[in-house]
Amino acid sequence: MTVRTAVLQPSGQLADEHELDDRCCECCATAAVRTHRGVLVAYRGRSADEVRDIALVRREEGRWTKPYRLHADGWKIAGCPVNGPAMDASGDQVVAAWFTAASDTARVFVAFSNDGGRVFSKPIRIDGGDPIGRVGTTLMPDGSALVSWLESERGKAAIKVRKVTASGRLGSPMIVAASSSARASGFPQIVRTEDDVWFAWTEPGAQPQIKLARVALQAFAR
């Protein structure tokens, strides 16, 4: 499985096609943001010896860089965890969130970059101790970020969100909604508008439904 990119013209034609990485994790979703320096792409890489850490590729001055790791988690797994990264950007500030189970310990990490993704800060762990992953993230007006993820609690699952600053200060976790650890529950999404934060997720069942929740921005003021 490879990671590729192309430009879609208004006419529907494809142009500027490139292979970004000739080996990646099969089923993990990718993420892409635009910074002042160019486009930044994140995905789960796959080394020859099955280390599947998050990889990055940047497009600057009309050229794509070679892949490089966001952080050396060292998660060696002979199968796809179906748990890709999430990113958001404003100018050259980037936030990235991801799940790893390296060393048989499940964790959700967040890292910040101030140079368009060239270099990221030391990872900040934000989960509650038993995460499932399936992360989402959005930057806040003050430069902090909100991160959402699935967490197991007493045999059940919940969509959680918490605020984190680039210095590593964590806000209190908030439960957005009850969920399920089943693959059918999908990947919750988070996005910020001027005054609110919106969440969207799949509620599995005999008749699956897409649910929405809105939280006022001021709820995350602290």
On the question of pLDDT at 70 being above 90, the answer is yes
Q: Give the strands of the sheet with 196-203, arranged side by side.
A: 189-192, 196-203, 209-216
Longest Cα–Cα distance in the chain:
52
Calculate mean pLDDT across residues 153-179. 94
Q: Which residues of 197-209 are buried (b: 16+ CB within 10 A; e: fewer)?
A: bebebbbeeeeee
Per-residue model confidence (pLDDT) at position 155: 81
Q: Which domain holds residue 209?
A: 3-7+16-220
Per-residue model confidence (pLDDT) at position 153: 83
On the question of pLDDT at 222 being above 80, the answer is no
The total number of structural domains in the chain stands at: 1
Per-residue model confidence (pLDDT) at position 154: 81
On the question of pLDDT at 205 being above 90, the answer is no
Point out which residues pair with 98 in neighbouring strands: 109
Point out which residues pair with 149 in neighbouring strands: 160
**CATH number for the domain harbouring residue 64:** 2.115.10.20
